[in-house]
Structure 1
């Protein structure tokens, strides 16, 4: 408790000092006031995962017994999400969120001084700073509580999706609706962490690459699962793929694996992605091969350097359409492999 509070107020001291304003009680013992009920949370809660989208937008998963708490800092989504009401952020909750997520203060040094210099341990009767006043110095801290453990990264992704329209990103509502279906897939197979890290990127091609990674994550799954069935192995596919890579240096070939997986997708989605990218004409070969060549070409055009005269004009692409279709292909493949 002491170190958490110290970290919060030191960060406020440093924020003001670096902007030319030294607080009169910098370095003194100060803390956020708590009640017995939320003090127990401060003592017993365990941080599971933290994801930082920016210095003022962060999210964390915290467990306490069988319950899961999700802290959202700097989010403006609807009051109800996942059908749950938000929980009040009390002093103990706020202390955990600010100490562990370390968001950048939102207010000016003068505004911070008015709150922080108010009192400290040297003042008679000091019982801590008011949580509401301290919380107002930072981006809004919100708290969701689940009565059970929940999958961390798909939950993070769902919350981030709910924020995209409010944050004014390039992502349109139609794409959000399509991506909501991806949320219900398996955390062990879909790299939600990659999707989370790209969702607020101003460059749409970054999110295309994240969706490509969702297909790429299934390359090893498909091959390792087939091997497991043929040899009657009991280990899960991840352990088999890791053992093959560590022992034999094996990993699935990207181009061949992509085409193989795309054979599990619907023809309408394959033809649409081929048309949207426009690199290969439909009918030059069968749909899976056309789509594989198109997707792989676009992926390489984003990832690899090209001389200026051969640079691909990425701004010309319909990224909402491309990403929406990529999400549909991910769902097609996942349904076929399930």
Structure 2
């Protein structure tokens, strides 16, 4: 089914056309043909533009709210989100072929008719406290968490709330994009593995911090860990390193106890962090590796929400503690 030749445009008045021209896409994330997010700068501030997100309330945070998007910004969103039409070919041709530049009395296509061909568009206004490219992925995660609890997804309201809280912390360095893509995946183990990767990024924290303090180098633990890896091929042992970060003071024992129950590690002679670390690692290995000796691990009641809720809390406090920006030394 072919669209007739001809140049076409969406009708905008002068003010809306100026708003379109003044807008600028800063960042873009695409999750498929019909789903995407973009950060757009415009005359009044920043807009988090979303396509293909169906939950009724996608702006659950104090610094982000859904707004009615002006026609100029709506056209900018259609361009910047780069999603395909969700309507069928016949509907697309019916709208697009209605007129073209050069035809008598062609004023331009109506925005409402064109926008109806695409996935749902949502514009979220961002306050200065949560604005900027550094917070883009965290802000998208909050919207994805609400979307994940909508429709036929596996994420329940409690886990959605927990992921929103993790997003609202806007922790420096946390790989929020891993979590975004995992939340949009219909496979629950994807989110578990994404949260695990966040913990994995802190494995060197305890030993590298101890070494930096002992040698009084003035270097951060990250720099020390990188130097050890580059010069001595040193890497932390996973089981011991995970147990060490789970034993950090910020980690709440109630969260570890909940994880231990989910992983079937609520009993044993070892310490609670050690038992949880062993259970997390065993589950991770069973999901990542496959072989004749690989044992499949089941979680209690197949309740991935019950596992990921305390794990998200642990990730937030461990990562924030390990990657906290140090205070400037007193002079």
**Common fold by TM > 0.5:** yes
1:320 aligns with 2:300: no
Deviations 1:90-126 (A, max 9, x none): 4432333222322221212221122101111121343
Q: State the distance in 2 between where 1:79 and 1:100 align.
A: 22
TM-fit CA distance, 1:281: 5.5
Higher deviation after alignment, 308-317 or 37-46: 308-317
Task: Give the TM-score normalised by structure 1.
Answer: 0.81
Q: State the distance in 2 between where 1:217 and 1:211 align.
A: 10
Cα pair 2:25 2:40 within 8 Å, conserved: yes
1:300 aligns with 2:285: yes
Q: 1:129 to 1:247 in 2, by over 3 A?
A: farther
Unaligned 5+ runs, structure 2: 325-331
Corresponding residue of 2:168: 184
Q: State the distance in 2 between where 1:134 and 1:179 align.
A: 34
Corresponding residue of 1:57: 35
Corresponding residue of 2:155: 171
Corresponding residue pairs, total = 313
Q: State the distance in 2 between where 1:253 and 1:39 align.
A: 58
1:219 aligns with 2:203: yes
Cα pair 1:261 1:333 within 8 Å, conserved: yes
Cα pair 1:301 1:312 within 8 Å, conserved: yes
SS in structure 2 at match of 1:183: helix
SS in structure 2 at match of 1:137: coil
Cα pair 2:141 2:163 within 8 Å, conserved: no
Q: 228, 232, 253: which is aligned to 1:267?
A: 253
TM-fit CA distance, 1:309: 8.4
TM-fit CA distance, 1:318: 1.7
Corresponding residue of 1:11: none
1:197 aligns with 2:175: no
Corresponding residue of 2:75: 95
Unaligned 5+ runs, structure 1: 1-20
Q: 1:242 to 1:272 in 2, by over 3 A?
A: same
Higher deviation after alignment, 126-135 or 307-316: 307-316
SS in structure 2 at match of 1:184: helix
Cα pair 2:260 2:266 within 8 Å, conserved: yes
Corresponding residue of 1:290: 275
SS in structure 2 at match of 1:48: strand
